[in-house]
Amino acid sequence: SQTIHQWPATLVQPVGSPLSLECTVEGTSNPNLYWYRQAAGRGLQLLFYSIGIDQISSEVPQNLSASRPQDRQFILSSKKLLLSDSGFYLCAWRDRVTNEKLFFGSGTQLSVL
Amino acid sequence: SQQGEEDPQALSIQEGENATMNCSYKTSINNLQWYRQNSGRGLVHLILIRSNEREKHSGRLRVTLDTSKKSSSLLITASRAADTASYFCATAPMGAGSYQLTFGKGTKLSVIP
């Protein structure tokens, strides 16, 4: 069966520090991968999605970047965090063939202080 | 941009009652999906309804879709305290944007025992 791992679960970082959040998927090949951000009490904002290795689409201009060094690995990064980067970050995958429902990781709560 | 908008933003009911949540969207869709999120966790897929379907059932869940009104509803029958969560609709647009899944802001459901 397929599983998705996202870590860390919580992170407190000072303004100006770098960020690296990692997500890996097991049990499937060539998934579509996604990073979403959820502000407190709000909906989900799509940040990045990837349909293949080194194929990243950015949905909003921001202080963040994403990379997909391996088929089932998706990394969210920042060189210098801003206060506004605080939020709940969710990684998700989707079967490339059916392209229907998303499977989410457990999320990372990021607080930038 | 926010495609789906849920209504109401919050709903509080007694255990055993039915809960109805609505979702409106703006553009033509391939399918519409409903997800559930427990506090501080990732989202879990509940049900998907395609644009050529009008109603779908899954256990205590009933989803309707009216493409002429660009709206959907999620009905949870005989609610339980364990149904307390936030519920999100998500739309998959037709055509080139089909990789994206756009979420609304959600309805926060509280079921009182």
pLDDT value, residue A59: 83
Structural domain span for residue B29? 5-112
Which member of B33, B40, B42 has the closest CB to residue A104? B42
Cα angle B45, B49, B53 (rounded to 5 degrees) comes to 170
Which chain A residue has the Cα nearest residue B38? Answer: A106
First to last CA, chain B: 37
Contact B41 A106 (CB under 8 A): yes
CATH of the domain at B93: 2.60.40.10
Long-range CB contacts for residues B74-77, cutoff 8 Å, separation at least 24? B74/B20, B74/B21, B74/B22, B74/B23, B74/B34, B74/B46, B74/B47, B75/B18, B75/B19, B75/B20, B76/B18, B76/B19, B76/B20, B76/B109, B77/B18
Tokens of A109: 């709560």
Number of domains composing chain B: 1
Residue A22 or residue A61, greater confidence: A22
How does residue B98 score in pLDDT terms, banded at 50, 70 and 90?
A: low
- The mean pLDDT value for A8-37 works out to 95
Residue A28 has pLDDT above 70, yes or no: yes
- Nearest residue, CB atoms, A101 vs list B33, B42, B105: B33
Is the pLDDT at B99 greater than 80? The verdict is: no
Q: What is the pLDDT of residue B1?
A: 45
Which tokens sit at B104?
């609304």
Chain A residues in contact with chain B using a Cβ-Cβ cutoff of 8 Å: 6, 32, 34, 36, 42-44, 46, 49, 51, 57, 59, 88, 90, 92, 94, 99-107, 109
3-class state of residue A89 by DSSP: strand
Residue range A16-35: mean pLDDT, rounded? 95
Q: Average pLDDT, whole number, for chain B? A: 92
- For the ranges A54-68, B47-61, B93-107, the lowest mean pLDDT is seen at B93-107
Which domains are delineated in chain A? Answer: 3-112 (2.60.40.10)
Average pLDDT over residues A35-46: 87
